[in-house]
Structure 1
Amino acid sequence: MTRPAWHILREDGALTLARRLPARFDFGAEAAFPRVGRLRLARQIRQDMWRALQSLRGFAPVVRVEITGDGVQVRAGGQVDGNFPRQRASDTVAALLQDPAHRARWIAHADGGRHG
């Protein structure tokens, strides 16, 4: 079995990890993180976001990690074709991005890949 293709776009200090192109945010949330490996951070967030929203039919995750002055700004969410509970999906992602246990694990993992 082959692994599904994930698109990794790098542009102007930002990295976007998306299941489909063009990457589209029908919903999402943002959070600031310390400067760590962008790709490692994006992958960890994408995995946990998928676990939280896998029952959302037609969901295609998108995570964008952009370098800021002293850290990175993450926008996580994604694309959903059709009707879906937009506010509930946004709230789920926002809660995930602010969860202290998830943040600690993501940062610890991504800190090993500072250059990503």
Structure 2
Amino acid sequence: MEAWMGRDRWHVIDEDGALTVARRLPVRFDLAVEQDLPEASRTRVAHRLRQDMWRELQDLRGFAPAVQVWRVAGGLRVKAGGAVAARFARGAAEARIAALLQDPARVARWTGSAR
């Protein structure tokens, strides 16, 4: 396992083929959505997805984003979500993350395939 804290104070853990970016340790996924994405840098995808997810869910009290990215045949698999320190509507929050993951413009920006 390789772990470090980036300059922006996010924990980055590279373990068993999965790269995880999280604000808090231990990493917790109280809500999570998984999605396949095109091939790209795991680090870039994790950080950019984390930023967009935070912007989308910053009104969710006690939310600490976490993103896990690993390589699969044909691209990447991401798990986006995180820990929530308060009561929340899981279905609605996960639907917002799913919509984010299905936005072609954002996926292109995360993966570097924007034209």
Structure 2 length-normalised TM: 0.88
Matched residue, 1:65: 69
Q: After the TM superposition, which segments of 4 or more aligned residues of structure 1 sit over 2 Å from their partners? A: none
Residues 81-114 of structure 1, C-alpha deviations (whole Å, 9 max, x = no match):
12111111100000000011111111117xxxxx
Q: Please state if 1:19 is matched with 2:23.
A: yes
CA deviation profile, 1:2-26 (whole Å, cap 9, x unmatched):
x652100101111000010111110
Question: What displacement does 1:70 show?
Answer: 2.2
Partner of 1:52, secondary structure, is helix
Percent identity for Structure 1 against Structure 2: 54
Alignment match, 1:104: 108
Unaligned runs of 5+ in 1: 110-116
In the superposition, the TM-score normalised over structure 1's length comes to 0.87
Greater RCO between the two (CA within 8 Å, min separation 6)? 1
| Selected match of 1:32 from 21, 25, 36 | 36
- Where in structure 2 are there 5+ consecutive unaligned residues? 1-6
Between Structure 1 and Structure 2, which shows a larger proportion of helix residues? 1
Aligned residues: 108
Contact 1:28 1:94 in 2 (8 A): no
Letter in 1 for 2:109: R
1:4-57 Cα offsets, whole Å, 9 max, x none, are 521001011110000101111101111111221101110000000000000111
